[in-house]
Amino acid sequence: MMADKEGLGGHDPLIGGQQTFQSLDNTIASVVQDQKRHSNKPWMATTFIAFIFVNILMVSVGWLVYQGIGIWGNNVPAGWAFDIINFVWWIGIGHAGTLISAILLLLRQQWRNSINRFSEAMTIFAVMCAAMFPLFHTGRPWVAFYWLLPYPNIMGVWPQFRSPLIWDVFAVSTYFTVSLVFWLVGLVPDFGTLRDRAEKVAMKRFWAILAMGWRGSQKHWHRYEQAYLILAGISTPLVLSVHSIVSLDFAVSIVPGWNTAVFPPYFVAGAVFAGFAMVLLLAIPIRAIYGLKDLITMRHIDWCAKIMLTTGLIVFFGYMLEVYYGWYSGEIPETRVMLWRFFGPYKYLYWLLILCNGVIPQLMWSPKARRHIPTVWFVCLVVSLGMWLERFVIIPMSLTINYLPASDRMYYPTLWDFGMFTGTIGFFVFMMFLFVRFLPTINMFEMKDLLHTLSHGKARKVAVGAKGGR
Amino acid sequence: MNEERPASIDLAKAREALAGKRGQEYWRSLEQLAETPEFRAWVDDEFPGRATLAQIDRRTILKFMGASMALAGLAGCRGMFLDEPRVVPYVKAPEELVPGKPLFYASTFSLGGYGVGVLVESHEGRPTKIEGNPDHPASLGACNPWMQASILGLYDPDRSQNVTSQGDISTWNAFFAIAREALEKQKAKGGAGIRLLTETVTSPTLARQIGEFLAAYPKAHWHQYEPGARDSAYEGTMMAFGQPVETVYDLSKANRIVSLDADFLTSMPGSLVYSRQFADGRRLTEGRTSMSRLYMFESGVSVTGANADHRWPVKPSEIGAIAAELLAALSGKPATGPYKAQIEPIARDLKAQNGATVVIPGDDQPAALHATCHSINEVLGSKARQIVEPVAAKPVNHTRSLSELCDAMKTGSVDALFILGGNPAYDAPADFGIADALAKVKLKVRHGLYEDETSALCDWHVPATHYLEHWSDARAFDGTASIVQPLTAPLFDGRSDHQLLAGLMGKPDDGHDLVQETWKQRGIPNSPFPNDFEKSWREVLHAGFVPGTAAKLPTESWAGQALVKMKKEGILLGIPDAPQRSGGPALEVAFRLDPALHDGRFNNLGWLQELPRPITQNLWDNAALMGIGAAEKLGVEAGDMVEITVGGRTIKVAAMPQPGHPEGSITIHLGWGRTKAGTVGNGTGFDAYPLRTSARMGHAGGAQIKKIDGFHKVQTTQMHHQMESYGDKLDIIRTGALADYAKHPSSFAPTIHESPGPVDEALEKSHHPGNDQNRQEQPAITMYEEEVFKTNLPQWGMTIDLNSCIGCNACVTACQAENNVPVVGKTQVGRGREMHWLRIDRYYGPRGGQGSLENPDMLFQPMMCGHCEIAPCEPVCPVGATLHSHEGLNQMVYNRCVGTRYCSNNCPYKVRRFNFFNFTDNQDQFSTQTPPDVREPKHNGIQLLKMLNNPNVTVRGRGVMEKCTYCVQRINDARIEAKKGGRPIADGDIVTACQQACPARAITFGNIADKQSAVAKLKREPRAYRLLEELNTRPRTSYLSRVRNPNPEVPA
C-alpha cells in the first residue's frame, strides 16, 4: 500500500528516532503521569488565558439569556449572523477528527495513528462549542432546548419534521454521541496501559475504573476491534451527512445566495478543509512543547497539508460555482447577491475570503512549504479565518440583500457577538489543554502496533490498523 | 384616668387641605385633614395606646383582622373610570356594558383648531383605539396618524399631573385664589392688564366663554398663536375678497388639480376628505378608464408630490412667480418664465375642463399666492373651490397677534397672562424674544397638557385635560360642529380650558353643563326632537356632531360684491403684492411642520417619533433636507452636520440629501429639538424655530450653509437604493400610463408565470365548478394537492390598490394601535429592529421614462404579511409555530415560538418582526432613560401605558416572532356575530385596522372564495398582481398596479 511504501522509503518516517515499545509508552504516557513534564510554562499560561475566555463565554451567555438576542447585532433581515456562522464553523472544524479516525481507519491509513486521538478530542470539543450556538441563538432557549426534540407529550405537539433545523438537531446530536463513544472506546486499551504504569494506588484505581477491566487478552482485542470497526462504519457516513444537513439549513430556503444545490458537497469539503487546518494549528505547537516530534512527524504534517490543499481546491471550486449559478440563474435577486458580495459594503470580507481560502493555500503545492513549519502553521491560521469568512459571506451577506430592495438593511456585529465567539474559542482551547494534560494525546497501542508493523518491514494483513504489541 | 386634652383641630388647615380635592377623594376625619399629632400617631402606629402587641386580646385581634379583610376589598372599589353617571351615551346602544365587548363613543379630535370626528373604542371604560367617525364630514371613517396616536397621548406618563407654582406642587384652589385676586384688581381698569393667549379657537363653547370673559373685562385682550396657523390662507382671502373666509375644496368636482406647494393630501385641514376625493377621482376599478390629473410644483418632498402625475421641485420663492405666470397664461398672455414650456400646456389643459379644475396654494406660502390662486380659480370658474364663512371663532393673523402681545408684555403693561394651550416659549418666531417679554409679566399662567418650555417660564402651570377626558366642542374644516365627549374621568388632576375659564370667572365649572349651555343657546338644528333639548342632545352625542352646522356660503351682501369686483378686475386682484421671481441663486430655507410631530406638540408620542416619514423614511430625528446636487456641492452625506445661517441666526443640523428635493433650498421640519417634551421627546432632532422669524414664517431667503465637524446618525428604515439601478424587472411595483391602460388593460396583466388570480380562479372552480367561462383556469404550480382549499370555509384575502394608496402612514399607526405594536427607540431602529407589522416601502423610479436623482418618481407600497398560500416561513419552523389555517391565514403561535428567526430569513417579503428584547414591557427603552420616579406606581408611570393595550391582541414577550395577522381578532369577532345571527359572514363585516384607517380606501379585505365579494372582484381586475409571483408563494394579498395620468403635451 501507498502509505506503507512511502513510510518505509520516504525521508520522513512515520515514527522518528530509535523507538521501542517502552520508549513509546514513556513518551506518551508520561505526559499524563509525570507532573514534571508540565512544569514548563506554556501549558499553565495557555490554559489560564483560555480560562479567562471561558469566563467571557459564561458572561456572554448569561447576559444573552438575561437580556435577549438584542445584545447581538442580528436584525431583520439578518436573522442569523455570528450565531450561525460560528455554529457552522465549529461543526466544520470537528469534521477532521471523524474523517481521520473513521474513514482513514477503514482505508487502513496507518499514518492516522498518531493524530487520531487528538483529532477526535478536537471533534468532541468543537461540537460542544458548535452546539451552544443554535441553542442560545433562539429567542427562548429555556423552551428551545427540549421543544426541538420529539418527545411524547400530553398535548400531542411534535416538532416540525420538515424543518432543516430539526434535521440539524438529529444530525448534531448523533454526531456528538457517536464521536464520544468512538473516542471513549478507543481510549480503553490506553487506560489499561496507564493503569499498569501508575505508581500511586489512587491513580491505579482511577485508571482501572476507566479501563473497564481491560486485560489485553486475545478475546478483548478481538471484541475491541469488532466494536471499533462497527463504530468506524457508523461514523463514516456522518462525516458526509452532518455537514450536508447543516448546509441544507441554507440550501432548502429560498433566500438568494442560499438556494444552491452545490451546498452539501461544498460544505463537506469545507469542513474537512477547516478541520485539517485546525488539527495542524493545534498539533504543531503541542508536538513542539511535549517533544512528540518523533511521533507526529513531518510526514504527518505533509499529508495533512496535502489534504488541506485538495479540499481547499474543492471549496474554491464551490465559490466559482456559486458565482456561476448566480449568473446562470438569470434571477435578479441572485445576481444582486453576487454583485453585493463583489462590490457591496462588505466586499473587503469577500475578497479577503478569496485570498485566505483561494490564494494562500496554494502555497501547499510546494513540498518545501509543506515542510516549513511556520509556513504551514500560518496557512492553517489563514484557512481557519477564511472558513469563518466563508460563512460570513454566505449568511449575513446573503440576508442583508433581499428580493424587495426596500428590505435591504446592513448588519453590524456587537461586542457581545465577539464575546461569545472568542469565548467558545477559549473554551475549546481550554478543553484541549485539559485533554492534553489528563489523557493520552496519542494512541499508544496503535503507535506500538505501527512500530511493530514497520519494524517487521512489511504491511501485515490486518482488518484494522491496530494490534496490541504488549 | 389621666386624659390629656387632645390638640385642637386647626379648621383653617383642614379647609385648605380640602380645597385641593375633587371628585372621589375621601377623608376620614377632621383630624386627618388638619394633620393633628393624634392622627399622625394613628397613622404611624396601627394600634396606638397599647404598650406591647401582647396587650391586645385575642378578640380584638380577630376583630381587627376581620375588619381589615373587609376594608381591603373596599380599597379596590375606587376606580378612576367610574365617573359622573352622565357619561353613558352609546353609539351602539347595548342594554348594558358587556365585559369583553368594546363600546364605541363618538368624540372629536382636533388639531390646529379643526375638529375631526372620531369613534373611540372603549373596553370597560378604558379607551384603547381611535377610529374615524364614518358619518363625520371631516373623517368619513378615516384616520390620520395623529388621531391614532392621540390615544397614546392620553396615557402618556409624562403628562403634567399637578398644579404647580414655580415648580412646586400646589392646588387648583390655591391657584384660583391667586388668579381671582389678580383679576379682581383688574376690574377697576376694565381688565386692561389681562391677556389671554390661545391657539386657534373654533370651539363654540370656548368662544362663548372668551366672549363672556371679555365682556366682564372689556379692555382685556385675546391673542391667538400657533406656529402652524393658516395666516396666509386667511390673509389671501382678505386680499382677494376683503374679508377673511375659509377656503374649502371639493376635489370630487376637480378633474384637473394644480397644487402650488400644497400638501393637501396629508397636512391641510380636511386632508382626510381630500384624500378620499382625490383617490375616488382616480379609481380605475369596474372598467373605469378615466382619472383626474395632478400637477404639482413643490418646494420640498411631500406625499402629494409623490402622487402627482407631473411634479417639479422648485424653490419656495418660485411658487409665487409660477402662479402669476399661470394666471397670465390663462388670460392669454404668453408665459415667459423658466417653466413656460410647462405652464402653457397646463393652462390649456385646465381651460379645457370647463370648471372641473382647481388650483390649491400651500398654507406655508405667502398670502399673495393665495390671492393669486383665488384669481386663477375665479378665472377658471372652479367648482371645486368653495368659499365659506370662517371656521375659526375669530380669524386673526397669528403672527401679528402674538407680536402685539409681545410688544405689550415688553412695555410692562401686562399684569396677568393666561396661556391656554400652545407652547409659545418654544415655537414663537425667533425675533419676538418671548422669554424676555414673559419675564416682565406679573402673573403668568400656563394651562397645558405637559409641563413644557412655556410652563418653565410661567408662574403657574395648571394641567389641562386630554380631549378624551373632557367635554368640549370644535368645528371641522367645513365648519361642522362636533362634540368632544370624554371617555374617562381625568387620569390626573387636569381641568379643561372651559373649566379654567369658568373658574377664573367664578362660575360653575362643570364641563358638560358648559358645553350644553352653548348648544342650548345656539339650538340644535335639524333635530328630530325640536322641542326636547335633552333628546336632541343625545342624538348629537350619538352622531358625534351637529348635523347641518357646516359653514355657510358668505352672504350676498359682501360676497357678491367681492366676487363681482373680482371678476371685473379679476386677474389683477391677486397680483398687487405679486411675489418676486426667484431671488436668484440665494439659498432658501423652508420651514415645514413635521409630517408626524406637527408643530412639536406630539413630540412625546413614541408612535409618531418612530413613524417613518413619508418618502424620507426618516424617524426619531429631523434633518436639513437638500437636493442631491446641493449636498454634493457642499460635500455632505446623510448625517454630516451643517450650520445654517439666516439673517444672523444660526442652527446646527444634520444634513440629509433627498432625491427629488429642489436644489437651492433646504427644508427643515419644525417640532424637533425640544428640551422639556418628556422622556420620549427630549433631545430628539434639531430645533429649527430659532431660524424662523415673524417676517419669514414659511421660508427665508439669503441663507448660508456650511459644513461643520460632527456627525449625527440620521436614521431611516430604508437604505438608499435606486430601483432603476437594476430595473424593476421583478415587477415589485407595476406602473403605467393611463393612456396605455385605457387602450390595453390586459397589458397590465402579469407577465411572469400566471394570469391574475389563478388561485382565486381555482377556488372559484372548486366552489362553483363549471361556472366561469370568461377566464382560463391556470393550474397552480405545485406538485402537491392543496388540502387547505378543499374546505367550504371562507378564504381571507386582501387587495391594495397602489393607484389609490397615497402613502400617508395612517395604516401604519392604525396597525400599531390595534395590534399592541411596541415602540423600540432610535438605537434599536438603527439596528433594524422596528416592530411595525405594516410598513410602507418607498421606491424611486424614473419619471417620464428618465431616471433622475433630481426629480425621480416616488412610489409607495404598503407591505405586511401577505398570508402566502405556499408560505416559505411555514416549513422551516422547527417547532411548527407558524401554520396555515383552513381559512388561509398564516398564523403565528406565539406560545410555541422558540425564536430561531428562520421564518424571517425565509420570508421574501421580510414582513416578520422579532422581539429582540422585551420591547413591550420596556417602552422606556428609548435613547434616554425614564426617570426612576415615573416607574413608581404612585405616579401611575409606566403602568399607565399598559392600559393602552388592545385586550383582544396578545402582548408578545421577548424572543418570539410576530407579524400581521390580517387582524384575526376582528375576523373572529365578526365570526361570532355572524354565528349569533345564524348567517354567514357578510362581505364587509370584517374591516382590518389598516383598511379602516385608510383615507383613500386603498385596502380591501374579505372572502376571496365568495366571487361576489369586493375583494374577489378587485382580484379579477386586470391590474391585479401578486408580489414576487415567480417564487410561487402565492400571497393572499394582491396589489393593483399604479397608473399615472401624465399630460403628453407637458414636458417633464
Q: How many residues does chain B have?
A: 1052
B474, β-bridge pairs: B482
Handedness of CA B121, B127, B131, B136 (dihedral sign): positive
- The residues in A 28-67 lying below 8 A from B, measured between CB atoms, are 67
Q: Which fold does the domain B587-711 belong to in CATH?
A: Barwin-like endoglucanases (2.40.40)
> What separation in angstroms does the CA of B72 have from each of A91, A252, B77, B81, B504?
60, 60, 10, 19, 40
In 3D space, the residue among B800, B213, B710 whose CA is nearest the CA of residue B507 turns out to be B213
What is the Cα–Cα distance from B524 to B482, expressed in whole angstroms? Answer: 11
Average pLDDT of chain B? 83
What integer pLDDT is reported at residue A48 of this predicted model? 92
Band of pLDDT at residue B766, cut at 50, 70 and 90:
very low
In 3D space, the residue among B872, B866, B834 whose CA is nearest the CA of residue B1019 turns out to be B866
Asked if pLDDT for residue B158 goes beyond 90, the answer is: no
Cell of B186: 383688574
Query: Is the residue at A462 inside a domain?
Result: no
Helix axes A164-197, A116-136, angle to 10 degrees: 140
Q: What does DSSP assign to residue B870?
A: T
User: What is the mean pLDDT of the segment spanning A117-138?
Assistant: 92
Query: b/e per residue, B634-652, with b = 16+ CB within 10 A?
Result: bebebbbbbebbbeeeebe
Whether B613 and B145 have beta carbons less than 8 Å apart is answered as: no
Residue of B nearest to A135 (CA): B900
Asked if pLDDT for residue A69 goes beyond 90, the answer is: yes
Residue type, B86: R
Contact B876/A253, CB-based, under 8 Å? yes
More confident residue, A207 or B578: A207
What integer pLDDT is reported at residue B751 of this predicted model? 47
In the Cβ-directed half-sphere of A203, how many Cα atoms lie within 13 Å?
15
Contact B901/A139, CB-based, under 8 Å? yes
What integer pLDDT is reported at residue A466 of this predicted model? 40
* DSSP string covering B678-742: -TTTTT-S---GGG-BTTBSSEEEEEEEEEEEEE----BSS----GGGT-STT-SS-EEEHHHHH
- Same CATH topology for B587-711 and B723-1044: the answer is no
CATH number, domain at A158?
1.20.1630.10
ipTM: 0.91
Band of pLDDT at residue B524, cut at 50, 70 and 90:
confident
Query: b/e per residue, A405-414, with b = 16+ CB within 10 A?
Result: bbbbbbbebe
Torsion angles phi and psi, residue B309, rounded to 5: -80, -35
Cβ contacts below 8 Å, chain A against chain B, sum to 163
What integer pLDDT is reported at residue B934 of this predicted model? 42
What is the Cα–Cα distance from B606 to B608, expressed in whole angstroms? Answer: 5
B656, β-bridge pairs: B625
What integer pLDDT is reported at residue B40 of this predicted model? 61
Band of pLDDT at residue A443, cut at 50, 70 and 90:
confident
Whether B897 and B960 have beta carbons less than 8 Å apart is answered as: yes
Domain that holds residue A232: 20-455
Query: Is the residue at A246 inside a domain?
Result: yes
User: In A, which residues are within 8 Å of B915 by CB distance?
Assistant: 68, 139
Q: Are strands B460-463 and B163-165 parallel, antiparallel or unpaired?
A: antiparallel
Residue of A nearest to B861 (CA): A406
Asked if pLDDT for residue B52 goes beyond 90, the answer is: no
User: What is the mean pLDDT of the segment spanning B405-427?
Assistant: 92
In 3D space, the residue among B252, B257, B293 whose CA is nearest the CA of residue B739 turns out to be B293
What is the Cα–Cα distance from A259 to A341, expressed in whole angstroms? Answer: 16
Cell of B796: 381571507
Contact A255/B906, CB-based, under 8 Å? yes
What is the domain count for chain A?
A: 1
Band of pLDDT at residue B765, cut at 50, 70 and 90:
very low
Class of the CATH-defined domain B723-1044: alpha beta
Query: Is the residue at A470 inside a domain?
Result: no
* DSSP string covering A303-347: HHHHHHHHHHHHHHHHHHHHHHHHHHH--HHHHHHHHHHHHSTTH
What integer pLDDT is reported at residue B748 of this predicted model? 65
Contact B905/A73, CB-based, under 8 Å? no
User: What is the mean pLDDT of the segment spanning B324-343?
Assistant: 83
Chain centroid offset of residue B38 CA: 54
CB count in 10 Å sphere of residue A153: 10
What integer pLDDT is reported at residue B771 of this predicted model? 34
Asked if pLDDT for residue B569 goes beyond 70, the answer is: no
Contact B833/A169, CB-based, under 8 Å? no
Q: CB distance from A160 to chain B under 8 Å?
A: yes
Tell me the CATH number for domain B246-388. 3.40.228.10
User: In A, which residues are within 8 Å of B902 by CB distance?
Assistant: 79-80, 163, 165, 249, 253
More confident residue, B720 or A342: A342
Which range, of B322-326, B480-484, B932-936, B1030-1034, averages the lowest pLDDT?
B932-936
Domain range list for chain B: 11-75, 246-388, 587-711, 723-1044
Band of pLDDT at residue B577, cut at 50, 70 and 90:
very low
Which range, of A249-253, B522-526, B656-660, averages the lowest pLDDT?
B522-526
What integer pLDDT is reported at residue A378 of this predicted model? 95
Query: Is the residue at A467 inside a domain?
Result: no
What integer pLDDT is reported at residue B933 of this predicted model? 43
What integer pLDDT is reported at residue A26 of this predicted model? 78
Asked if pLDDT for residue B25 goes beyond 60, the answer is: no
Q: CB distance from A77 to chain B under 8 Å?
A: yes
Nearest CA of chain A to the CA of B874: how many Å?
A: 9
Whether A173 and A246 have beta carbons less than 8 Å apart is answered as: no
- Tell the residue number behind the cell numbers 426619531, with chain if given: B620
What is the Cα–Cα distance from B385 to B370, expressed in whole angstroms? Answer: 12
Secondary structure in 3-state letters for B248-295 = EECHHHCCEEEEECCCCCCCCCCHHHHHHHHHHCCCCCCCCCCCCEEE
More confident residue, A133 or A296: A133
Q: Give the nearest partner residue to B898 out of A73, A143, A249, using CB atoms.
A: A143
Band of pLDDT at residue B249, cut at 50, 70 and 90:
very high
Q: Taking the model in full, what pTM does it have?
A: 0.86
What integer pLDDT is reported at residue B95 of this predicted model? 64
- The residues in B 33-72 lying below 8 A from A, measured between CB atoms, are none
Asked if pLDDT for residue A3 goes beyond 60, the answer is: no
Whether B281 and B294 have beta carbons less than 8 Å apart is answered as: no
What integer pLDDT is reported at residue A375 of this predicted model? 94
B447, β-bridge pairs: B420, B462
